[in-house]
Structure 1
Amino acid sequence: MNQNSSVCNELRLEQQLCDAVIKVDNVEFHAHKVILCNYSSYFRALFTHWSTPDSRVFDIPNVSPDMMKLIIEFAYTGFVPVTQDNIQELFIAADRFNVKGIIQACSDFLEEQLAPQNCIGIWWFTDVYYNPELKHKAFIFMLNHFEEVAATSEEFLLLSLEELVKIIENDQLNVKKETTVFEAILRWIAHASEERREYISLLLSNVRLALMSPEYIIDSVSENELVKASEECRPILLKTLEAMLDLRTRRYSDSVFCNSLARPRLPPAILLAVGGWSGGSSTNGIEAYDVRADRWVNVTNNNVEAPRAYHGAAFLNGSLYCVGGFDSVEQFSTVHRFDLVTHIWQEVAPMHSSRCYVSVTVMDGYIYAMGGYDGHDRLETAERYLPSTNQWTLIAPMHEQRSDASCTILHGKVYICGGFNGTECLSTAECYNPETDQWSLIASMGNRRSGIGVIAYADHVFAVGGFNGTSRLRTAEAYNPHTDTWHAVPSMLNPRSNFGIAVIDDRLFVVGGFNGFTTTLDIECFDVEAGEWSDVRDMEISRSALSCCVVYGLPNMAEYAAPRPSL
């Protein structure tokens, strides 16, 4: 509360210079007309158009004294206590009296309270009390958490047919398996089977049936009693089988995006491959991998960042950061931030040291940059960056000089493995505890690995590929922090070093790299449950010395996904 507001509030409490008495159920609130007009168009109209200038007492019906007290206090203090108990009544009162500040406070509170069990109710609430921003956020929350909403929300069962169709037809619906959508509509129908069973064909036509396995279609969909009883479902199943055949024979054809039964949904996260070494020089190319569509999209920005390789890429607070690196002439200490929503590049504070072959990761709102090569020495120093202060701070140095190492985060610690110390490729590894600002050596890997990929996956630290001083490696191993031991895991299909690595959609991806003879655009992924590696669609740009990161939570995620034309 500023000084003027404080004085006005004191005058109100002392009933000094008040020119209005607001009466609610015989409870009187003394106030100043000009103060209420400033916060509410309702009161402005009441005092200037709906009453005479000499009117002093105003009876306000259909509102409780408690709510009026909060509204008047907000007009003087700019503060309102929003609670679980008063939120609905307060929102309704603020909407009626058009107190935008309280409406915003209520909206912020409801947004923070969004959960799978109440998001549909909040969505409905904004139909009655117009708030398009909150309505959109509730709908997006519902799409993002659909699996839990459909399984646990009682409100889900009360959706109208039109509302359910609006949800399941949306490209942004986040489901790992399309079978979840089919099972959700069965649950919805079962809640009022007699009146809803006739909707099965309409709902089924909005499920991406061709993305399911043939076995599931045959055993679960076509054998379902509702589906079998509906003649309208038969042509849908026939079109599904045709779409499945098309998917298998024309895997990368754009026709799948135009088929409502086969169209991939938008992914909740996108894998970015940033920069690297390509065609004998560094590149500024950025490609985005849409895991649901199995497509790479070139998203290189026209306001181009300078080409760089052997750098680090990190995603934090809606922005992509490019840290350090090399352009074939200079080792960089510079750091550039790309706002993924506005598409604007901006240079931020530089690191304390130039670092190419740097290891970069994100933890607890900080970007960590460790080791690397400054053009003269392999570094053991490490530092971290806090965006809110735009400052890099040195942290404890590592036990070893490490360039061309790789790092990850697990259980609140930074793990860094392998690398090159200027003399030999390393098998050693260590972890950093930010609470003590200390590095601790952990068990060494089974192999020396420089140009390695390190990533947290399945509660382990995975160390993949690299160069052992003689050859590029296919092998991979995983570290168990609970036992301080490494064990072998299945080898990649292809040897590689200096590649990108990331986990997305519960799989570990390795991207590009150098195979001992040439840079590659080859991608493969590892599924820990299946225990095997499989090929993924190649990038457009063949490159090594790139860096990968996963971006999520963007309002414009569709801009980084494979284009989906309107149906």
Structure 2
Amino acid sequence: MDQSALKMFHFKDKEQSCKLLLQLNRLRQEKVLTDVLLCSDNIEIPCHRNVLVSSSPYFRAMFCSNFLERQQNKISLKGIPSATLSSIIDYVYTGLISIRMDIVLPLMQAASMLQYGRLFEACSTFLQEQLSPDNCLSMIRLSEIMNCNSLKQRAKEMAMKSFSDVSESEDLRELSLPELMGYLEDDSLCAEEEQVFETLVAWIHHDPFSRRSAISDLFKKVRLRYIHPTYLFQFIANDPLIQSSTLCTELIESVRRLMFSVSSKCIGDTAAAFKPLWVAPRRYTYHDMLVVVGGRKNNEQTSREALVFNESNQKWEWLAKLPIRLYKASYVTLHSVLYVIGGLTTSTKHSKVSTTVYTLSLKTNQWRTAEPMLEPRFAHQSLSYLHFIFVLGGLGQDRQVTASVERYNSMFNQWESMTPMPEAVLYPAVAATNQRIYVFGGEDAMHNPVRIIQVYHITRNMWSKMENRTVKNVSAPGAIMDNKIYIIGGYTRRMIAYDTKANRFNKCANLKERRMHHSATVLNNKLYITGGRYVSGHDVIEDSDSFECYDPKTDTWTLKGTLPFKLFDHGSLTLTCVSQTWAKS
């Protein structure tokens, strides 16, 4: 048999369906073979039954079942404006339709009634493009009326993400109690807890007569653990609505006892109803971000730069600059605020040892001054614990090593002197956990390494010390992960982890070079170190722009890139912000 007879050519005319639709529309316009009239507002639109049946389950049921309309030549479609019906029939025959804000609602209603699903979703897509914080709650109402899940989901996402703007709208005050509760208890709500409280108060004041009784149920949705103590005890505690509720005042008093005890153990003494509220997790729209601030830049001058690492694009971005240059200030975070404490001013002709405290939050990206320290100092150490900041040692006004310790109480916005360290040391590694501050090593006034661990008992305001031959670190940062204090480098490549419960040191993976004057912070259960100085292969001390990460699970170091410039004696900290919407300079 001839092979050519077996060959086959599969032809597909891509224009056929389009041309067929055009021809059918032309026949409709010329009223050729039309067999039914769709009527609305005394307007009659001629159509072909087979086209309508092919386009919609609604018309298929109407014309292919034992309904009365099967025998009729005129079908009245009540509730659909004639202009809307005409647009839909044009869409059926051409696949084209123009959606505008003034016609989208009747069009959507008609598409739902006549079961044109893709047209219904096209209207939903159009409305989603019009979403804003001002109208998202109204859109949620509309989506519920229209039974449009895609619009409801997008509008809800915007309401959660832009809650700061939405909370000020009149629409929010019109929410029912269950609707408001649904927002406030959601982990994905993008708002600070202070704003959550202000929102519920505004909602109650909108209709106080019928809503006042809901205060205790709503207040339980505020995660008190993440509210600044000053705001909680001076503003919230004195609010008349809160004072009118016995449960609310008991909850605040439980927090007060917990704070004043300086002990996490006292939670066992609090009311059973309070425990689940205290351990409620942070809303997951809160993000911890790595911030680098101050230090000595490119070994030229003291830096005023403040940088934040954007994990989404793996790039460093600039924050507002420090107001002045500070040499060997200390850096700490508390209640989502960055504190730059003391230091030696280098912006003036005559350097001065400072007591000044500067603060920065990612929310405002503006530097402010806070209550100054009691004593001027630089080259000191700072750390936070609960609602306190502790400042230890350093060099005082006379440029001599000091053992003095002072503490900042954020609840009362005041500094107070504490028991001094047993031994004055410079550049130790410090960390706080389980009601204790640990001070490892450092050097004495003669620049000799000190092989001791000094321990401060916070609740008793007492120090103890013990010699330990493992400790020999100078200018090494300390960081806490899983009840272990990591001491990273310090004129050495080694990193050791001190187990506070077992009172034992464990060796970890070494650094790549002998590192000192660097900084470290913990972010998402990993340890990040930035900058510093290192000893090169030729025993030369050089500045570093390195950015490395240590994973305790694998005991490995990973290079994360570089800083924008070489830097040492700086602060590397973890700062919390809501979502990624921090104010850029």
| Residue 559 (structure 1) aligned with residue 578 (structure 2) | no
| Mapped partners of 1:96, 1:395: distance in 2 | 48
Q: Would the aligned equivalents of 1:512 and 1:522 in 2 still touch at CA under 8 Å? A: yes
Measured at CA, do residues 448 and 391 of structure 1 come closer, stay the same or move farther in structure 2, by a change above 3 Å?
same
Paired residue for 2:495, among 459, 462, 476?
476
Which residue identity does 2:565 align to in structure 1? I
Measured at CA, do residues 284 and 506 of structure 1 come closer, stay the same or move farther in structure 2, by a change above 3 Å?
same
| Residue 307 (structure 1) aligned with residue 325 (structure 2) | yes
In the other structure, the counterpart of 2:105 is none
Larger radius of gyration: 2
| Residue 535 (structure 1) aligned with residue 559 (structure 2) | yes
Measured at CA, do residues 482 and 333 of structure 1 come closer, stay the same or move farther in structure 2, by a change above 3 Å?
same
In the other structure, the counterpart of 1:456 is 480
Paired residue for 2:436, among 393, 413, 416?
413
Which residue identity does 1:515 align to in structure 2? Y
Which residue identity does 2:320 align to in structure 1? T
What's the TM-score once normalised by structure 1's chain length? 0.52
Q: CA RMSD in A?
A: 3.4
Secondary structure at the residue paired with 2:486? Answer: strand
| Mapped partners of 1:432, 1:331: distance in 2 | 26
Which residue identity does 1:503 align to in structure 2? V
In the other structure, the counterpart of 2:304 is 284
In the other structure, the counterpart of 2:354 is 332
Number of equivalences:
321
Secondary structure at the residue paired with 1:268? Answer: strand
Paired residue for 1:316, among 334, 343, 353?
334
Where structure 1 has 5 or more consecutive residues not aligned to the other structure, the ranges are 1-82, 116-171, 175-265, 467-471
- Report the CA distance between 1:354 and its aligned residue: 2.1
In the other structure, the counterpart of 1:444 is 468
In the other structure, the counterpart of 1:105 is 215
| Mapped partners of 1:272, 1:111: distance in 2 | 30
- Report the CA distance between 1:345 and its aligned residue: 2.2
Measured at CA, do residues 504 and 113 of structure 1 come closer, stay the same or move farther in structure 2, by a change above 3 Å?
closer
Q: Would the aligned equivalents of 1:378 and 1:402 in 2 still touch at CA under 8 Å? A: yes
Q: Would the aligned equivalents of 2:286 and 2:579 in 1 still touch at CA under 8 Å? A: no
Measured at CA, do residues 98 and 483 of structure 1 come closer, stay the same or move farther in structure 2, by a change above 3 Å?
closer
Could you give the per-residue CA deviations for residues 243-263 of structure 1, whole angstroms, max 9, x where no partner exists?
A: xxxxxxxxxxxxxxxxxxxxx
Paired residue for 2:523, among 496, 504, 525?
504
- Matches for 1:215-226 after TM superposition, within 5 Å: none
Q: Would the aligned equivalents of 2:450 and 2:472 in 1 still touch at CA under 8 Å? A: yes
| Mapped partners of 2:210, 2:514: distance in 1 | 60
- State the identity as a percent: 17
- Report the CA distance between 1:542 and its aligned residue: 1.4
In the other structure, the counterpart of 1:268 is 287
In the other structure, the counterpart of 1:37 is none
- Report the CA distance between 1:353 and its aligned residue: 2.2
Which residue identity does 2:400 align to in structure 1? D
In the other structure, the counterpart of 1:380 is 403
Measured at CA, do residues 527 and 100 of structure 1 come closer, stay the same or move farther in structure 2, by a change above 3 Å?
farther
In the other structure, the counterpart of 1:358 is 380
Which residue identity does 1:465 align to in structure 2? G
Secondary structure at the residue paired with 1:342? Answer: coil
- Matches for 1:57-136 after TM superposition, within 5 Å: 97=207, 99=209, 102=212, 105=215, 108-112=218-222
- Report the CA distance between 1:335 and its aligned residue: 1.2
| Mapped partners of 2:386, 2:522: distance in 1 | 18
- Report the CA distance between 1:292 and its aligned residue: 5.2
Which residue identity does 1:109 align to in structure 2? F
- Matches for 1:422-441 after TM superposition, within 5 Å: 422-423=445-446, 424-441=448-465
Measured at CA, do residues 299 and 282 of structure 1 come closer, stay the same or move farther in structure 2, by a change above 3 Å?
same
Could you give the per-residue CA deviations for residues 83-112 of structure 1, whole angstroms, max 9, x where no partner exists?
A: 99xx99x99x96995649728836742523
Q: Would the aligned equivalents of 1:341 and 1:556 in 2 still touch at CA under 8 Å? A: no
Secondary structure at the residue paired with 1:559? Answer: coil
- Report the CA distance between 1:274 and its aligned residue: 1.0
In the other structure, the counterpart of 1:346 is 368
Which residue identity does 1:483 align to in structure 2? A
Could you give the per-residue CA deviations for residues 503-561 of structure 1, whole angstroms, max 9, x where no partner exists?
A: 10111111111114222110111111101111112111311000122111x23643279
| Mapped partners of 2:216, 2:354: distance in 1 | 47
| Mapped partners of 1:370, 1:114: distance in 2 | 30
Measured at CA, do residues 425 and 109 of structure 1 come closer, stay the same or move farther in structure 2, by a change above 3 Å?
same
Measured at CA, do residues 497 and 106 of structure 1 come closer, stay the same or move farther in structure 2, by a change above 3 Å?
same
Measured at CA, do residues 339 and 94 of structure 1 come closer, stay the same or move farther in structure 2, by a change above 3 Å?
closer
| Mapped partners of 2:324, 2:222: distance in 1 | 39
Measured at CA, do residues 398 and 549 of structure 1 come closer, stay the same or move farther in structure 2, by a change above 3 Å?
same
Secondary structure at the residue paired with 1:496? Answer: strand
Measured at CA, do residues 107 and 426 of structure 1 come closer, stay the same or move farther in structure 2, by a change above 3 Å?
same
Secondary structure at the residue paired with 2:354? Answer: coil
| Mapped partners of 1:338, 1:421: distance in 2 | 33
- Report the CA distance between 1:418 and its aligned residue: 1.9
- Report the CA distance between 1:446 and its aligned residue: 1.8
Q: Would the aligned equivalents of 1:454 and 1:463 in 2 still touch at CA under 8 Å? A: yes
Measured at CA, do residues 501 and 98 of structure 1 come closer, stay the same or move farther in structure 2, by a change above 3 Å?
same
- Report the CA distance between 1:323 and its aligned residue: 0.8
Q: Would the aligned equivalents of 2:319 and 2:365 in 1 still touch at CA under 8 Å? A: no
| Mapped partners of 2:517, 2:392: distance in 1 | 16
Which residue identity does 1:456 align to in structure 2? I
Q: Would the aligned equivalents of 1:287 and 1:296 in 2 still touch at CA under 8 Å? A: yes
Q: Would the aligned equivalents of 1:358 and 1:405 in 2 still touch at CA under 8 Å? A: no
Paired residue for 1:404, among 405, 409, 427?
427
In the other structure, the counterpart of 1:394 is 417
What's the TM-score once normalised by structure 2's chain length? 0.50
| Mapped partners of 2:531, 2:417: distance in 1 | 32
Measured at CA, do residues 392 and 292 of structure 1 come closer, stay the same or move farther in structure 2, by a change above 3 Å?
same
| Mapped partners of 2:529, 2:311: distance in 1 | 13
In the other structure, the counterpart of 1:11 is none
| Mapped partners of 2:402, 2:319: distance in 1 | 33
- Report the CA distance between 1:430 and its aligned residue: 1.5
Measured at CA, do residues 107 and 353 of structure 1 come closer, stay the same or move farther in structure 2, by a change above 3 Å?
same
| Mapped partners of 1:96, 1:354: distance in 2 | 50
- Report the CA distance between 1:443 and its aligned residue: 5.1
Q: Would the aligned equivalents of 1:311 and 1:357 in 2 still touch at CA under 8 Å? A: yes
| Residue 520 (structure 1) aligned with residue 540 (structure 2) | no
- Report the CA distance between 1:451 and its aligned residue: 0.7
| Mapped partners of 1:483, 1:290: distance in 2 | 37
Which residue identity does 2:531 align to in structure 1? G
Could you give the per-residue CA deviations for residues 9-37 of structure 1, whole angstroms, max 9, x where no partner exists?
A: xxxxxxxxxxxxxxxxxxxxxxxxxxxxx
Secondary structure at the residue paired with 1:558? Answer: coil
| Mapped partners of 2:304, 2:457: distance in 1 | 33
Q: Would the aligned equivalents of 1:315 and 1:551 in 2 still touch at CA under 8 Å? A: yes
Measured at CA, do residues 312 and 557 of structure 1 come closer, stay the same or move farther in structure 2, by a change above 3 Å?
farther
Which residue identity does 1:520 align to in structure 2? S
| Mapped partners of 2:443, 2:218: distance in 1 | 50
Measured at CA, do residues 108 and 431 of structure 1 come closer, stay the same or move farther in structure 2, by a change above 3 Å?
farther
| Mapped partners of 1:549, 1:426: distance in 2 | 26
Q: Would the aligned equivalents of 2:452 and 2:471 in 1 still touch at CA under 8 Å? A: no
Secondary structure at the residue paired with 2:355? Answer: coil
Which residue identity does 2:355 align to in structure 1? S
